[in-house]
Amino acid sequence: MTKAIKKQALGRGLSALLKDPENDIKSVEDKNADKVVGNIIELEIDAIEINPFQPRTNFNEESLQELASSIRELGVIQPITVRKTDFNKYQLISGERRLRASKLIGLTTVPAYIRLANDNDSLVMALVENIQRHDLDPIEIALSYQRLIDEIQLTQEQMSDRVGKKRSTIANYLRLLKLDPIIQTGIRDGFITMGHGRAIINVEDLDVQTDIYQKIVSQNLSVRETEALVKNYQDSLKPAPAKAPKGSSFDVSNEKKKAITEFFGTKVDVKVAGNGKGKITIPFHSEEDFNRIIKLING
């Protein structure tokens, strides 16, 4: 049984627990509350209401359709977060785009984190303990960090103290969540490493990200090769250096060179550069020869 299937089964089991009137969990002190805090639970979409204080009111329809297509292919990668308001009733805290997109494709349930009225400390403990596990993939760790930011309002410095990780390490995990969902899934499934993901994240265009991801998988590219691929792409975006304007060059005919040579009575060297500038070199063999040339110049 794969890890994804295990998680799904666990979520359904907890969902049944929450729908049992004898297990109406309202606080962290209630029986089975420890099974809720910090876990992913499959919730029926009809049991979730939109937060009336949601500041965001405009949702781009095209963007929602794209997200819906992604969810249809890959599922909901990042669970939504809800607050329990009554028996089997919940209010959305975060993830309205994911919820709307799930409704668009006809899903009846959605993976969710459930918050209880007084579960703040318990949630922090559960998430920190979860992060310390060794079997988590990089995206799972990143999602846990993001929850601590979104729900507990911890700064990266505070998280660094709580989980015993450097702030730069936390930042590197969080940046993975900016990757295209297909690439996030690739990291979770082990097709590419976190190192590959960190290289790809330097590309802003999501379509280009997925193109690079496909090359990594099909050509079995190393992290270093991926970094080189990304660098070549970024270099291609830089404007070409401006070329210096060309001057109006010209050729000095042999007849003109011969005329100058005959005039000075010595072989004269004429050179013309590409910008039209040049020089005439008149050799002399003695002081007497030099004075002769001066007289010719002065006429």
| DSSP character at residue 155 | -
Q: Half-sphere exposure of 193 toward its Cβ, with a 13 Å CA cutoff?
A: 9
**In this structure, what token pair is assigned to residue 256?**
């003109």
d(CA 64, CA 54): 17
Is 22 one of the annotated active-site residues of the chain? no
**In this structure, what token pair is assigned to residue 187?**
């990291």
Decide the pairing of beta strands 278-281 and 269-272. antiparallel
- Exposure b/e, 166-194, CB count within 10 A at least 16 = b: eeeebebbbebbebbbbbbbbbbeeebbb
CB atoms under 10 Å from CB of 293, counted, come to 16
- Cα distances (Å, whole numbers) of residue 287 to 121, 163, 238, 284, 299: 101, 89, 59, 8, 18
Which member of 44, 66, 96, 227 is catalytic?
96
Q: Is the separation of the CB atoms in 76 and 99 below 8 Å?
A: no
Q: What does the angle CA 32 – CA 119 – CA 169 come to, to the nearest 5 degrees? A: 110
d(CA 237, CA 204): 12
| DSSP character at residue 21 | G
d(CA 18, CA 146): 25
- Cα distances (Å, whole numbers) of residue 255 to 192, 226, 262, 263, 268: 71, 61, 10, 12, 12
Q: What are the catalytic residues?
A: 96
